[in-house]
Each structure stands twice: as C-alpha cells, then as structure tokens.
Amino acid sequence: MAKITKSQLVALQKKLKRDAAIGAKFGITRQAVHQLRKKYGIDSVIEKNPARNKEILSGYNAGKSVAALAKKYGLSISYTYRIISENKGKKAGRGRKR
C-alpha cells in the first residue's frame, strides 16, 4: 500500500475531493484510498453532502441565484439545479423516497 500519511490524505481530500483522484495521483486504486481513510478514521467528503444540500436549498429559498450558489460550493449550475429540485419537497429527518 502507498505511503500516505494521515495529514497528506486530509490535505489531498480537501484539494482533490474524490478517492479515485487521490488514488490516480499515487498510482493506487480508489479502494486502497478508501481503506487508508478508514484506517486513519477520516470521513468521506460525500458524508457532508446532505448538510451542503440543505444550505444550498435555504440559500435558494432566501433569493440567492443558482449561479452564485454553484460558484460558492464549486458545483456546476446544472448540478446545483438538480440538488434544489431533488430536495425541494423533503422534510428534515426523512430518508430517500421509496
């Protein structure tokens, strides 16, 4: 397994976001990066998405433009629209639609 320290992994996760991108930089698989994150006790960036999505929706409801929200969170405008449309009718504490 690659020699990646915990501090390196945290820094790379902030910069590159995805396990696959980190793995490509070090020539290892996405799964190997995932195992390192678990070993070091580092949460995935994806686990923060529900909170981010809630902030995007509240910003949109407060009158902020989709373009401004997309820029703030580093997302594309179309993906920001998708987040808004998928989360519009959801109540807090409910899971996925079934």
pLDDT digits (tens, 9 = 90+) for 29-65: 999 999 999 999 988 877 778 999 999 999 999 999 9
Provide the token pair at 59.
């910003």
Mean pLDDT for the stretch of residues 67-85: 93
Mean pLDDT for the stretch of residues 58-81: 94
Whether the Cβ atoms of residue 17 and residue 45 lie closer than 8 Å to each other: yes
pTM of the model: 0.60
Side chain identity at 31, as an amino acid letter? Q
Provide the token pair at 77.
């405008």
